[in-house]
Structure 1
Amino acid sequence: MTVVLVPGTGCAPWHFDRVAPGLAPEPVVVLELPGHGAARPVDPVTLPAVADRLAEQVPADAVLVGHSAGGVVGLVLAVRHPGRLRRLVLLDSNLPVTPEALATKTARAEAVLRPDWRRTLETSMRASWGAREPTLGEEVVAGILATDAAAVRPLWHAVLALDPRPLLAALQVPTSYVRSSRDVDLDALHALNPLVEGVELGDRGAGHWPHLTAPEAVLDILRDALRR
């Protein structure tokens, strides 16, 4: 059983360095989103196109762990390629299901279309980091801002504009949603699809990158998911 780790928008494979070794003896593959690092871009950048590109690289019967937008892409992949995954883990992905939280998210999509979108991105990422390891947080944000805008901007917009409820309702693979900082109602998520189990990280100070700031807590959750 292969564990596939997928970083978020503008994020890099090294973000999983604190958890990947702890997943042994399972083989681990860390993928990059299209247009990130050395990964070939897709054109146009849409969630289905990105998911289909990743599906070409994901072994059958894998457990996919996606952080943030990587989890959103994993969700799209699981629905578009049923039977491909054994399990899906959504690590603090932006997938609100209550009307209020969803409206807040989709309203933010307009900001990505404005000329100062990069400043909005920087502000959003810094606010999401949390209080721990600020120097590391600056390194992560700098990497996001340095990623090709042609890959980051349309993917970020697609994630914000997405109503995830139809995809979540159609999901046919057991899924763990790990909440660290997102405004996602875990009970409402489970009510939408009983295959989706909400897991509270239990450490609200970890911010949006808990695999970097609270790796042991994340590892405990991932090991439990693998045992299932």
Structure 2
Amino acid sequence: MSDLHTTTLGEQGSPVVFCHGLFGQGKNWTQIGKALAASHRVTLVDMPDHGQSPWSERLDYEAMADAVAGVIDEPAALVGHSMGGKAAMLAALRHPERVERLVVVDVSPVQYRSADEFRGFIDAMLGMDLGAIGSRADADAALADAVPNPGVRAFLLQSLRREADGWRWLPNLEMLRRDLDVLRGFPETDAVYEGPVLWIGGSDSGYVRDEFVPAMEARFPRVRRVTIKGAGHWVHSEQPKVFTEVLSRFLDA
């Protein structure tokens, strides 16, 4: 079994396991999870080095995938966004007997050219003087210049926790920055996952492109691609109603 922190919603129906992206937490999926909980047993996972899950010494997609597979005790639908999507894909390839179907959200099994945006976020987060912060408003102001988009800033600040001795970041930022190039890639594998796959992209995002289709189909031959209009990289938070409808149809097919 995995030592990852999980939250469960719902008590009946088929199991669905959610994996978040970089800087996130399992609770980022709460809105979607609650929408499914009447008819599914939902598990929200804190990925390694995030949320309340343990920190590791290096970023490793294989270890991440195996840890995710470890929380699955019966064949489940596995849903992953961005970093969590790559981990979910690899979990399906490495442990197909545990993944009944797969949903990949706004990411592809390819090497992306740049992680500069994410590196900038980490630098900004590490650069904050946490000792000088008295409130979340202070934290928001301290991050505003480096991260001008208020939605992205609010997302990052969800991982800032106030404790008795002050503030701390939940993600393992120093390690994530050091190994960020690993995050851009996808491990080489000859494995093929034969189960049904839903590949969801945002129309305003560049993470799912026509040029990535051959790489996806080579590993996931039963893939169906859906593009959600009016959404960028964080598809499920930008268009939650449409996303939930698309996801529900696939889960119940």
Matches within 5 A, 1:147-226: 147-150=171-174, 152-153=176-177, 156-162=180-186, 166=189, 170-180=192-202, 181-185=205-209, 188-189=213-214, 191-192=217-218, 193-201=220-228, 203=229, 205-226=230-251
Structure number having the greater helix percentage: 1
TM-score by length of 2: 0.69
Correspondence for 1:73: 87
1:126–1:117 Cα change, 3 Å: closer
Asked if the contact 1:62–1:85 (Cα under 8 Å) also holds between the matched residues in 2, the reply is: yes
What are the Cα deviations for residues 142-201 of structure 1, in whole angstroms up to 9, with x where unaligned? 34684221453366422313267x46x622221111011234235834653431111111
Which stretches in structure 2 are left out of the alignment for 5+ residues? 1-13, 126-142, 161-168
Correspondence for 1:2: 15
TM-score by length of 1: 0.76
Identity %: 24
CA–CA distance in structure 2, aligned partners of residues 60 and 11 of structure 1: 25
Q: Does 1:118 align with 2:122?
A: yes
Q: Does 1:108 align with 2:114?
A: yes
1:218–1:156 Cα change, 3 Å: farther
Q: Which has the larger radius of gyration?
A: 2
CA–CA distance in structure 1, aligned partners of residues 224 and 124 of structure 2: 32
Equivalenced residues, count: 206
1:135–1:14 Cα change, 3 Å: farther
Q: Could you tell me how far 1:68 is from its partner in structure 2?
A: 0.7
Q: Secondary structure at the match of 1:17?
A: helix
CA–CA distance in structure 1, aligned partners of residues 175 and 226 of structure 2: 30
Q: Secondary structure at the match of 2:114?
A: helix
1:38–1:183 Cα change, 3 Å: closer
Q: Secondary structure at the match of 1:182?
A: coil
CA–CA distance in structure 1, aligned partners of residues 84 and 195 of structure 2: 17
CA–CA distance in structure 2, aligned partners of residues 56 and 93 of structure 1: 22
Over the residues paired in the alignment, what is the CA RMSD in angstroms? Answer: 3.1
Q: Which has the higher contact order (CA 8 A, sep 6+)?
A: 1
Structure number having the greater strand percentage: 2
Which stretches in structure 1 are left out of the alignment for 5+ residues? 97-101, 128-133
